Amino acid sequence: MYVNRFAARALLAAGLACLAMPALAQSASVPAEPNPTPDPALVGDTVTVAVAAAYLPDYEGSDNYRVVPGPAAIGSFHNFAFQVIGNRASIDLIPNPGGPRWDVQAGPVGVINFNRTNNKAIDDRRIRALGERDTAIELGGYVGLGKTGVLTSPYDKLSASLSYRHDVSGVHDSGIWSPSVNYFTPLSLKAGVGLFASAERVERNFARTYFDVDAAQSLASGLPQYRTRGGWKHWTVGVAGTYALSGNLLKGWKAIGGVTYKKMLNDFGDTPVVSIAGSRSQWLAALGVGYTF
């Protein structure tokens, strides 16, 4: 039915807007793998590509902000849903039949972590004095469960997932657990909106790499020494939406945008990298355009 195809692609567009925004923070740690992709069986082969300007912190925990571009693509091919969003890529390897139903999701995920890899992009001289980090390659997988037709209409979708990835490049040589919950709904033939929440729990070596201040770094930066433990690093909530600029959300150009808020937790909020040189409260805003083929 046309309405089913519209609903799925509207979810696709709204989902792209929501997913692209947190992943645009390429200098910061990447949030949970959301996996709210729409029904491939309802959508058929399709892809939405987008580019946005994101206003985000210089590094994870910073209180200085900058604007960076962020590309994204999300779609399905032969009932396999995929995402390439900023510095993260994933694919759902479990095809599901069409119709409102439970949607089981599982597959690989990869992230390129650019946090503090470029001192030229960091305004705070104290953080620059701590030294640059190499680019980390984090690989892993996720499992998730979604349901279409849960709250506002037969075509909205609620999803929950859990992902794990581990650095395979030896930069921080540790793992990151990421639970997330996502909700998307089409509002009309021209508009869709999404809400999401996620968190990250990291291992000790991740904390040491990005948030510790040792004696030599303390002398160079003026920040007090600090030793960070692993654990829950942050939670994030956000809202994003999309509006068709040509026709409707089934095909053509659309505007996307939204806002996220992240709260640094525990040792990650108390470290001088955040509590003195930065801020526990982290904002991200993005605005861009996309095209659905």
> For residue 72, what is the domain's CATH number?
2.40.160.40
Give the per-residue pLDDT at 36.
38
Nearest to 58 by CA among 13, 1, 12, 124: 124
Nearest to 165 by CA among 283, 29, 21: 29
pLDDT band at 41 (very low <50, low <70, confident <90, very high): very low
pLDDT band at 99 (very low <50, low <70, confident <90, very high): low
SS3 194: strand
- Phi and psi of 62, rounded to 5°? -75, 155
pLDDT band at 189 (very low <50, low <70, confident <90, very high): confident
User: Which residue would you say has higher pLDDT here, 28 or 152?
Assistant: 152
Query: Does residue 84 carry a pLDDT above 60?
Result: yes
Give the per-residue pLDDT at 271.
98
pLDDT digits (tens, 9 = 90+) for 57-75: 999 999 999 999 888 898 8
Give the per-residue pLDDT at 106.
96
CA distance 16 to 25: 15
Token pair 């729990």 is at which residue?
201
Q: For the purposes of burial, counting CB atoms within 10 Å of the CB of 219, is it exposed (0-12), middle (13-18) or buried (19 or more)?
A: exposed
CA distance 12 to 32: 18
Query: Does residue 232 carry a pLDDT above 90?
Result: yes
Amino acid of residue 246: S
CA distance 205 to 173: 7
Give the per-residue pLDDT at 27.
39
Bridge partners for 136 per DSSP: 113
Give the per-residue pLDDT at 266.
97
pLDDT band at 113 (very low <50, low <70, confident <90, very high): very high
User: Which residue would you say has higher pLDDT here, 288 or 32?
Assistant: 288
Q: What is the mean pLDDT of the chain?
A: 85
Please state the domain count of the chain.
1
Residues with Cβ within 8 Å of 216's Cβ and at least 6 positions away in sequence, in order, are none
Q: Can you give the pTM of this predicted structure?
A: 0.85
The range of the structural domain enclosing residue 66 comes to 2-292
Query: Does residue 260 carry a pLDDT above 50?
Result: yes
Task: Judge whether 227 and 217 are in contact, CB under 8 Å.
Answer: no
Token pair 């503090």 is at which residue?
116
Query: Does residue 115 carry a pLDDT above 90?
Result: yes
Give the per-residue pLDDT at 30.
40
Using CA atoms of 225, 202, 263, 209 in order, give the dihedral in degrees to the nearest 10.
30
Query: In this structure, what token pair is assigned to residue 47?
Result: 């892809």
**% pLDDT > 70, the chain:** 83
CA distance 160 to 177: 14
